[in-house]
Structures are given as C-alpha cells and as structure tokens.
Amino acid sequence: MSFALFDFLNAYKDRTFRPKKRFVPGSVRYKLHKYAQASLHSGLDFRDAVQLPPNEDVNDWIAVHVVDFFNRINLLYGTISEYCNEKTCPFMSGGQKYEYLWQDDDNYKKPTRLPAPVYISLLMDWIEDKINDQNSFPVDPSVPFPSNFRKLCSKILTRLFRVFVHVYIHHFERLIQIGGEAHVNTCYKHFYYFVTEYRLVSQKELDALKDLTRKLIPLKSGKD
C-alpha cells in the first residue's frame, strides 16, 4: 500500500465522523501498528503483509487491524458522505440483493431498517464504544483478552465490510469523480486479505462483492 492511499484519505479527513483512533506510543500495539504500516509502505504483497509477525500474539495483531480498518473505512465513507443521505439512500443496502438491518443492545433490540447514513453513523459509534472498552479491547498487556474477542472482532469487521458494499455499489461513480477508485480498491484488497487469512468475515457476507473481488484479486491468491 503506497503513501498515495493515505494521502487520498487524509485529504478528506475533515469529513470523517470522529477523530482518528490512535495507539499509545511505546505499547505493543503501537509497535505492531508501525510494523504493519512499514510492511504496506514497502510494497510487500498483501498476502504476506497480513501474516502474524514472529513471536507476537495474534489477538494483538487482530486488535491493531480492527482499529486501523475502522479509521480507514471511516475516512473512506467521509469521501462520499455528502452524497449519502436519507433521500439518496433510504436503506442500508448493497444493490437490490442485499439489505442490512441494524441491531444493538440499546435502542434497536430487533433488526431495524434504517437509512444508510443513520446505519453507518450508529455503526461507527458502536465500534468506537467497543474499542474504547477496556473489557473488550484491553490496553494493559497484563490483562487477557476476553474469551469472545475473536467473535467481537468478526462482528465489527463484518459490519465494516457492509460499508464497503454500500460505497462500491451505490457511490462508485462519485469515487471515480474524485479519483478515489484505485485508492479504495487498495484499501479493500488489504481488508479482504486480512479477514480471509484469519477467517473473520464469512464467505456468505463476502459474496456481496464477489464480482469485484474476482477482478481485484487473482483466483489463485484468494480464499474460497
């Protein structure tokens, strides 16, 4: 992943929902975050870049990427957010075949149909709450990860994937207009390789962008 992607996303950072989440300098995750960035900037193949570094905890590696993908997809949505409103996108969908309903433990205890911008705003708030929760994402290395950590990360990344689906299917023309197609493709490929390597998003979910994935990722390098 070149610096061009980060430059593109940062150009729209004022449109993001919330401040970028950062790692504490000197912490294990800060080190892993820097390691991951260096691997991407070096031009390392995505398949290799997502591999767990030697002698590191896989949960720390996953935690770092969950936060990074949250930051990037939040910025990505910011590039088209002014064109995504309750009139243009009355439902959180990915074409006619896929519609995503919102459910949480607070105000939406049953799956609820919502406009795309409302769904995405609730999603980003929900993720931010989770990654700020020391019980879910412990920062202290002496505190173990909860038993449901992988399940939670899978849910977070699955929901973030749905933002990719909505943006690609409903706002792709806008991405082309602002010169963002190649950058978003790069971000998506990194995301895809990571979630398939660690089996964090089901194939059933990934099928929503099956045709795009076939174009962007060689079949011999993808995972079925």
Bridge partners of 99? 93
Angle at 153 between CA 152 and CA 155, to 5 degrees: 65
Q: What share of the chain is helix, strand, coil (3-state, %, to 5)?
A: 60, 5, 40
The domains of the chain are located at 3-216
The reply, when asked if residue 153 is annotated as ligand binding, is: no
Contact 161, 195 (CB under 8 A): yes
For 94, the 3-state DSSP assignment is strand
Q: Quote the pLDDT of residue 218.
A: 79
Alpha-carbon dihedral sign for residues 83, 89, 95, 100? positive
The reply, when asked if residue 183 is annotated as ligand binding, is: no
Close Cβ partners of 119 (under 8 Å, ≥ 6 residues apart): 92, 100, 102
> How many other CB atoms sit within 10 Å of the CB of residue 175?
19
Q: 3-216 has which fold? A: Butyryl-CoA Dehydrogenase, subunit A; domain 3 (1.20.140)
pLDDT in tens, the chain (224 residues): 444 555 555 555 555 455 556 655 656 555 665 656 655 555 568 899 999 999 889 999 999 999 999 999 999 999 999 999 999 999 999 999 999 999 998 899 999 999 999 999 999 999 999 999 999 998 888 889 999 999 999 999 999 999 999 999 999 999 999 998 988 999 999 999 999 999 999 999 999 999 999 999 976 544 44
Residue in the block written with tokens 């939670």: 152
**What length is written for the chain?**
224
Q: Quote the pLDDT of residue 14.
A: 55
Tokens standing for residue 78: 């910011």
The reply, when asked if residue 65 is annotated as ligand binding, is: no
In degrees and rounded to multiples of 5, residue 165 shows phi and psi of -55, -50
